[in-house]
Each structure stands twice: as structure tokens, then as C-alpha cells.
Structure 1
Amino acid sequence: MLIEEVKAQIGENGRDTGVATHIAAVREKWMAEWLPLLNSDEAPLNPYRVINEINNNLDHDNSVVTHDAGGPRDCMVPFYIATTPHSYIGWGKTTPLWFRNPVNDRSETC
């Protein structure tokens, strides 16, 4: 009932207050500052480059990703693009193993 009432008052598509556009602009500027690290060829590889490669090569809609127990979560969370609910799990590498069963088609990446 509540959802129908809200849709009746503000329309099917909601209100465009410009907040999403503002956030996208701020994120674009912020990401420009990080691009050198995200694309760095330094050796050994830095964690930001690894996360960027995961973002560029993984099927986000059909994968579950978590950070390694030895890898800092704060390196991954700002940059990994989670496109579906529960596609990033922030609890360490053993948690997503339950995804490996015949019922679930998602792959897991630790």
C-alpha cells in the first residue's frame, strides 16, 4: 500500500533532485585522483591495481567477491563495483564457499 501511494504522489520514476548526478560528478573527480594507483604497473602489484583488474575482467552479475583475510577491506570496498545484492561479502574468504553448490550459478572470487 505504501509503495503504491508514493508512486501515486510522485510518479513511477520518482523525483530527480539532482543528487545522483552530483554524486556521480564527485565520484568521477575522486576516481581521477586514484587512477594512477588503479592502473599502476609497479612491481610488486599494489592491491588497488588488483581490484581494478577484478572490476575490469569479472562477470559482476554472476560472481560473489570477498577480500582475502590478509587483505585490507578498506582497499577493496571503495573501488569494487557490486552490481547485485550480496555480490560483495566483507567477511573473509571462507564465507562464500557455500555458493559452490549445484543450485547456485554464481562463481566466487576471493
Structure 2
Amino acid sequence: MGVHIEQVTRVQKAKVERYKVTRLYRAEKEWEGIHPVNVETDVYEDNVELPIGSWLVPLAQPLGNLVATLLEPESVCGFVNFCVIPAEEGKELFVSRLIK
């Protein structure tokens, strides 16, 4: 997609915002081979260790707004909606937002 990403090469401590799915609605009608998903999430801060191999996607880049739209769990145009990022009610998503 032309988006710059960085891979973590050493374990790093980080403060992040995490997403916990509080409500999930899966469309009954199939669209393009999937049942789109809408979620509501609670966001909370957490201190984590980013393991080697984790991916960081800086938003300060030409396609940063696109990245934010795709990774935002409640976005109707995002990866959760199109089942690229799996979501389950009561569970955390594997995507977090880094707090600098």
C-alpha cells in the first residue's frame, strides 16, 4: 500500500492504549464473502513490552490518515469491519496505539 512500517528489533517497553471489545455486531447478510463487523470498544492505557517482530506504523507519513482509518477498530472502513483483524466481544484486539 506504500505505507512505511518499522519492525521492532529488540524488546521495548512502551505505554500504549489498548482496545477491549465491549459490543460486537456481525452483519447477517454476507457482503463480498464476509459478514462485516461493527464493534464498540473501551480504550485504556497499559504498559507493555513490545516483543521482537512487532510492527510499528508511524502516522507522520503521507498515508498516515489512511493507516489511522484502517486500524481504528470502530471505523466502518477499517480492518476490524472487514474481518482482517479478528474481534470477539469481551476480548482485546491485538492492535494498540503507542503513546509517546
- Name whichever structure is richer in helix by fraction: 1
For the aligned pair, the TM-score class normalised by the smaller chain equals under 0.3
- Name whichever structure is richer in strand by fraction: 2
Larger Rg: 1
Q: What is the TM-score of this pair, normalised by structure 2?
A: 0.25
Structure number with the bigger relative contact order (C-alpha 8 A, sep ≥ 6) is: 2
